[in-house]
Amino acid sequence: MKNKILKSIIYLYYLSLVILLIIYLFPGSIISYLLYRDLGEQPHIASNLIGTSINHFFYFFFLTFLGLIYNLIEKKFINSFLFLLILSFLLELLHFFIPNRVFELNDLLGNSIGVVSIFFLFKIKKTFTA
């Protein structure tokens, strides 16, 4: 049973990476189209002061958390923190070239803060449990 749960977490990590790539590289907002039938409108997961960037924070926070669990399960450190941080920069920079997409510094900050916050939470936990 435990092995199935761990494998499910690994599959969820890879599935989440694929979904991230599809959402980021699609010209327009797929989620907006599904919710509002409008590729241009951006959905909000939570109302906030920084706009849709909170969505970026939530997704990269979730993805980094799954990456951390994946690294702990496999007993090898792929350094998902660095991988996801670089990926967040590259994907946001690609918005310069994708039609109907716009590079936004706030989105880049949301991505980065999502990744870095898990990194610091992991380091703090590791410090207090060591």
Decide: pTM greater than 0.75: yes
Q: Give the DSSP per-residue string, 79-121.
A: -HHHHHHHHHHHHHHGGGTSTT----HHHHHHHHHHHHHHHHH
Tens digit of pLDDT at every position of the chain (130 positions): 678 888 888 899 999 999 999 888 887 677 677 777 766 666 665 565 556 678 889 999 999 999 888 877 776 555 778 889 999 999 999 989 988 788 888 889 999 999 999 888 888 887 888 6
Query: How far from 117 is each of 75, 80, 91, 111, 125, CA to CA, in Å?
Result: 22, 13, 19, 10, 12
Give domain limits for the chain. 2-129
Contact 68, 122 (CB under 8 A): yes
